A and B are shown apart, each in its own frame.
Chain A
Amino acid sequence: MTNIIEIKKLRKVYGDGVELVALDDVDLTIEEGEVLSIVGPSGSGKSTLLNMIGLLDTPTSGEIWLKGQNITNASPKERARLRNRELGFIFQYHHLLPEFDAVENVMMPLLIAGVDKKEARSQAIIHLEEVGLGDRLHNKPSQLSGGQNQRVAVARALAGHPSIVIGDEPTGNLDSKSSDMIYELLRKLNRQMKQTFILVTHDMNMAEKTDRILRLVDGRIVSEMRREGEGFVSRDKSRAE
């Protein structure tokens, strides 16, 4: 498999006076089609790492390569274009646009990409069918349950077939039944479309269903567990060792 993302000595420091190291020389390689979970306590740098991969944030130092291209210093316009074409986001809260119905919300990334409106609509309907909301096309977020909204958000993240789908606690706000449903959905889509999924989660139950689990503490990857058969093989990456 080819590497879709390579991260080299990535460092992010916040603050002017008192410095807060959010990411400390992180090296990471993610393969195409992989389902990766990032776990760790609050403030360990999970979200920061995810925002870097999602091109929403820029590192203090280090490099990010996407599909063999160094995008560390890409212009805001280029980053926006890459977010639109290569990345799909699922947030903890669905973050759907409240004035738009389900189809329109799913259409949005396609319209941003410049896809013709009619084409965008038919693609959006297909994505909503995939997440099992074919009968809720014209409901606005206020008319849908939390789980349904999150499924719309999944459909939106998949619109335009991005190569990487990023989830920041995608089930963090849902009950366990809805969580399982969302996870099964993501897994199914991963099998069908070979997209790469990177999920930040608190939920070990969900993490254990992914291909690889990275554990972050204080801005460092302290352990990495890779699925082999039914179990996980641990590789300790803590530098303290």
Chain B
Amino acid sequence: MQRYSVPALVVLAGLILCLASQFGWIDLYVQTTIMFLFINVIMSTSLNLINGNMGEFSCGHAGFMCVGAYVSSIVSVALFAKSSYFGAPLLPPAWAVLGMPLSLLAGGVAAAFAGLLVAFPSFRTRGDYLAIVTLAANYIIMSVFVNLDMVGGPRGFMGMKKVISAMNEVADIPWMMLLTFACTVFTVFILRRFLSSSLGKGVNAVCQDEIAAEIMSVNTNRIKLVAFMLSSGLAGLAGGLLAHIMGYVNPSGFGILKSTEAMVMVYLGGMGSITGAVLSAVLMTGLIELLRPLGILKWVVIPLLLVLLMQFRPAGLMGSRELADVFPRLRRFYKFK
């Protein structure tokens, strides 16, 4: 019974969310906010792997999100929708129901390979210098898409709404809510499993003393490669989801500002804590929405709150602790594998 409690809770939460969206218990605005919240959770937990656990300073996370957004959009539009870019759909639009997760996956895989752009330099340089490399990677990726006229260039790329409506014709359920929730659970699940293994703890070893790690038989280059690819791949997944929720992608939306947003969430939550990253993503998204009535003043209040938080909890909300460290009784309730 204990073994199934957490999966059961997760499925129940997903079910309630989908039902609530389906029957209009929550309006479209709240639905979209919840989906953005999930995307923020994916962004902050995946960046946490690099900035928190590995101790590198990656500030180009949105670049990988951009790759994922474009690639998954291109795949799904080319396959399942009639568009001015690619003409008639290559497959029957109804297949999008099955093809959609695959196109998101394609976006994630493409982003993981884009992550090599940072992973290889990380073998030779670290710290501030690697931060510059990640920044450069962000700009390179953005300029590539700005200059690709085939997919709209600076005007952006659209047509994803048609894919979603094709899916809704097959079955009228909140597809994007379902997919976003599933991807978020997948992200946290995978990161949790990776980081709790002896292999994944190698990431922390690289952070705390890279030379000792290398001498103690840890293949540091491989660890860095895996960490960067995993992190950017998950960011790509988030990008694909965002593109399909919004219905269009525009390269300028994935600039340094978006990367900073992800970074703020990581540092707010606490370095190297998955729980913290989830918590801060929820908090940030919630705050931004709740303080909306303040108008432009919101951007004074939120940074001020951040400053205060960093003053009184310099290690972030959770430090490097996880949920099970804060509530040790949870361990008795559920055995974390």
Do A and B truly interact? Answer: no
